[in-house]
Structure 1
Amino acid sequence: MTIGIGPSTPVTSQSTSGSRTQGVSTKGTEQGENATPTSGSSKPTSQLSTLAQQLSDSALRAEERDASLDRKALGQKADALLSQITGQGYHNNRARYDAEVPNTDDPELLERAKQATSFVNGRGSNPFSGLSQDQLVLIIYDDSGTFTANEQRAAWQEDYDQRQEWKQAVIARGKLEYSQTGKMTDFFKEVLGNYNDLPPIMQAQYPDFYAPRLEHLIEMDFNFITHRAEGKGAPEDIFDILMSSEDFANLGKRFANSTIS
């Protein structure tokens, strides 16, 4: 469902404020050789340690990439990388991706790649299940060859699933806010906060007007039942904003009709 809370790439509420490449969180991957795996984890601690190093190296590459490209170029880069692991671009190369093996003798890396291939073909568990969005994004958009295409596909799927879970929760809170107050201001705040927490390569996939329009909607504090702006702005501004793009139009229409599902 299009509700104006994100592009086609995954969004979650697990992000934290601050840089998404410097000091990237490796929670769940930094236990070290002597740590005890969490209950139910299928990942040996040595693999977790190896993954933590891979993510650390990937974070440095991401930081260099983000600093070298402007927003438009970064968005184009994201689209190109996603086309390789989603949609027709992925399915056209499925046989090659399924046969891909990491250039390593490390049995743990080989096993993880094998598990990812099994997962994207409907068998077994996702090797990246439970990772944070910061970690998943590093895997998804890493073009160094560190991760196989199927590993990146598996990371993308986990991120997508997390985004869907967040969307359902934020929509439910938005519906409750609308039914109780006639407003969507807290909903807009939560959506904007989530956007502000995204890594640069994900923010770059949103239109330039996305954040400014959310900020305007928040400032207006518009009541959709009384049709009054209780903050800054004229009532007619709400229609200019909500009808100026498909995402915002659908968002406004569905809330106004109280039919979000």
Structure 2
Amino acid sequence: MADNRERLILVISINSNGLSGSQVLNVATAPTESITKSQTSVEKAAVDRPKEARGFSSLSVQLSKSAALATERDSSLSRKELGAKASELLSKISGDGYFTNKKANDAEVPDTQDPVLLARASNATQFLNGSGKNPFAGMSSDQLSLIIYDDSGSFTTNERRAAWSESSDQEYAWRQKIVASSIAEYNGTGKLTDFFTAALDHYNNLPAIEQAQYPNNYEAKLQGWISLDFNYKTNTVEGKGSALDVMNKVLDFDKVTFEDASGNAA
């Protein structure tokens, strides 16, 4: 992934009794679901709905537009170009790029008279400044990704950062779960095949712009390890390494592990 994305650092110790783990976790990001209703029909239906339903309808319209833009963007860029685009977009809502413009980001207001959209943008800013709930809490990863990488102006910078924060929290929770299950798998069988399978499934469910931030041969490497079904306790089949090394390399996208056949990092 892009260098400006914080990594999850996994600290695991192996002893004679099996595998135990503790984690020093930094948020990582860490994602398209189409909205089938047209903007006109959604807005028309929203008139007679309560405030909560109107808010959902407004968001649905925005997500529909974001999905169309994402489809156009993804189809027009190569994987390498898409990865570079992701880095550019993330730099606006994370790290120094965000905090350098924090005052302007907090003052940004959507170009709309819709009170629902104005309220949501305000809530996002309040959340990022330590007050209230993330307005995007509980949204699907696909929807969050649409918001994060939409620089059309449909969402404010702070809304995109709030969506990124929720996406990061979801990624953090997934990693905690996968590490715990991997420890159990290793202690029970000496293998990490289920771990590799879960990591591959996770990758395959990401949108193109997030897959583009992974090494080019990430999928092929994982599939190879799944097929190998190596036992790290008995060192059977073939291969070498420890459960600690392998899990860290997969989760931290180790450049040597994922270099291509020519020796170049993917």
Cα shift at 1:8:
7.4
Residue in 2 that maps onto 1:185: 193
Whether 1:235 aligns to 2:234 is no
TM-score by length of structure 2 reads: 0.77
1:225 to 227, 233, 236: 233
Equivalent pairs, count? 226
Higher RCO (C-alpha under 8 Å, 6+ residues apart): 1
Q: Secondary structure at the match of 1:44?
A: helix
2:213 to 193, 205, 218: 205
Q: Secondary structure at the match of 2:213?
A: coil
Residue in 2 that maps onto 1:10: 29
C-alpha separation between the residues in 2 aligned to 1:166 and 1:97?
29
Whether 1:141 aligns to 2:152 is no
Residue in 2 that maps onto 1:129: 137
C-alpha separation between the residues in 1 aligned to 2:241 and 2:233?
16
Identity of aligned residues (%): 47
Pairing of 1:1-261 with structure 2 (within 5 A)? 1-2=8-9, 9-11=28-30, 20=32, 23=34, 33=46, 44-229=52-237, 234-236=238-240, 242=246, 247=252
Q: Secondary structure at the match of 2:97?
A: helix
Which blocks of at least 5 consecutive residues in structure 1 are unaligned?
37-42, 253-261
For 1:133, the aligned partner's letter is S
Q: Is the 8 A contact 1:25 1:134 kept in 2?
A: no
Q: Is the 8 A contact 1:242 1:249 kept in 2?
A: no
Supply the RMSD in Å over aligned alpha carbons: 3.0
Q: Is the 8 A contact 1:242 1:248 kept in 2?
A: no
Q: Secondary structure at the match of 2:9?
A: coil
Q: Is the 8 A contact 2:35 2:60 kept in 1?
A: no
Q: Is the 8 A contact 2:35 2:61 kept in 1?
A: no
For 2:58, the aligned partner's letter is T
Which blocks of at least 5 consecutive residues in structure 2 are unaligned?
1-7, 11-25, 258-266
Q: Secondary structure at the match of 1:122?
A: coil
TM-score by length of structure 1 reads: 0.78
Change (3 A) 1:158 1:25: farther
Residues 189-215 of structure 1 deviation map (CA, whole Å, 9 limit, x = unaligned): 000011011000000000112111111
